[in-house]
Amino acid sequence: MSIPEKTEKGESLSPTPSNVGQVGQVTDAYAHDAVFGEITEDGPNYRNVGWLGTAVLMMKTQIGLGVLSIPVAFDALGIVPGVIVLIAIATITTWSDYIIGVFKIRHREVYGIDDVGEMLLGKAGRIIMGTAFVLWWMFTAGSGMLGISIGLNAVSDHAVCTAVYVAVAFVVAFVLGSIQTLGRISWIAWVGLSCILTSILIVTVAVGIEDRPASAPTTGVWVSDYKIVNNGSFSKAISAVTTIVFAYAGTPAFFSIASEMRNPRQYNRALFLCQSVVTCFYIVVGVVIYYYCGSYVSSPALGSAGKTVKKVSYGFALPGLIASTLLFVHITGKYIFVRILQGSRHLVANTMIHWGVWLGCTFGVSLAAYIIASAIPVFSDLVSLVGALLGTPMCFHPMAGMWLYDNWSRPNRNWKWTAMVAWCGFVLVSGTFLMIAGTYGSVVSIIDDYKASGGSAAWSCADNSAS
């Protein structure tokens, strides 16, 4: 009988054939987890996600909402700067994601980014990072609900009031987001990822076949006005950069995903598969759609190829948008749930208190996201604001701090150590700049859109899909 590897506290780091039974079962050797405590067959098994399921969950936290705004970001920046910025953001966030896996192995008790905040900055750090984490995913879930309402409007030709569709998105996100474990949700992520990829590929092919994009002039000869380098305003350019940050900002969720892996040592395998697929897909979709649509690209991008293609693409995209939104609700609700019941037997036992707290958490998160989606109804504005204000400090700053926390006192300070300290400094400075400048650009854009609409867009019945 093999012995599972242990940490200093004695928790099993990774399951072996001796401590994992059939799928969904927990044996005695695997009964204690540094985060969830005693796991038994009387309650949900929170450590039941394989590496491939992990990769899909990672992809689904990123591909979904972010990809729909990549062509619009390229319109603001131009093709070449857009691709360069995208690769730069991909590099930084991949490093950040990698550090999460390393840190999780070294500090098994870490469940969320607030744990990191406390290790770096004490109790104040826990409060700041925990609050930012909750707000981040609530806003992201709000973006998801807004995306669902756009899809329903597109498919139905705006059959009912948009506010009703946002409410439908709220109910669906709450019900499906309340499924207890990521292991049980991973199949939905598979379906959602397949659907969103299919919908985007349909539009990507269609814009190359169609005579002109949907919003372009209908008469006369039309030629795409795409720009290799665009010379737009600073506010539009920096908003585009933070939109790309949003497209990679599944990073904060990777703590929770890693915590529910059967074997956390396979984390890197899942991560590099995820980031490779995501980056290649973003570049191809962003370049092709913007090349053929130019400044007439739609936001979200699924509306760029005409009414019929829009209906078909949104029909495929809706399961993907729903999967993304329920993941955002689930991850946020799970974080709050664990913090409330951690150390209690109710965390892993199907008691009345367990279910009451769990459903209360997912309902509260869903309700907050619904309010956000209704109050900021312009998709590109909401994506840009969330990416700037909360995405950059979630994806840049903590990971630089985590590396410094583990390596600052290292005795062998060679050139590699010096280079990594310099890299961490760059990540901190660039993240701070993007947070401040990007928030400014997003706020300017939101104000301009509210002025243009006379403030009537919020809580509106108006069609948000331009059907």
Residue 385, classed as helix, strand or coil, is helix
Q: What angle do CA 230, 236, 239 make, to 5 degrees?
A: 120
Q: What is the DSSP letter of 10?
A: -
pLDDT, residue 10, reads 37
At which residue do the structure tokens 């665009």 appear?
230
Residue 186: count other Cβ atoms within 10 Å of its Cβ: 21
CA distance 360 to 356: 6
CA distance 375 to 450: 11
Instruction: Read off the pLDDT of residues 8-43 as tens digits, 9 standing for 90 and up.
Output: 343 443 443 334 333 333 433 345 666 666 666 666
pLDDT, residue 17, reads 37
**Phi then psi for 38, rounded to 5 degrees?**
-75, 115
CA distance 387 to 239: 9
At which residue do the structure tokens 């599972």 appear?
4
Consecutive sets of 10 residues in the chain, 467 residues long: mean pLDDT of each? Answer: 38 39 38 63 73 89 78 92 95 94 88 89 90 87 87 86 91 93 84 88 88 79 88 86 86 86 89 94 92 85 80 90 91 91 84 93 94 74 74 89 92 90 95 90 79 63 72
Which domains, and CATH codes, for the chain?
Answer: 49-453 (1.10.4160.10)
pLDDT, residue 142, reads 87
- Count of CA atoms in the C-beta half-sphere (13 A) of 255: 28
pLDDT, residue 11, reads 42
Beta-bridge partner residues of 245: none
Instruction: Read off the pLDDT of residues 172-201 as tens digits, 9 standing for 90 and up.
Output: 999 999 998 888 888 888 888 899 889 888
pLDDT, residue 161, reads 87
What number of helices (H) and strands (E) belong to the chain? 16, 2
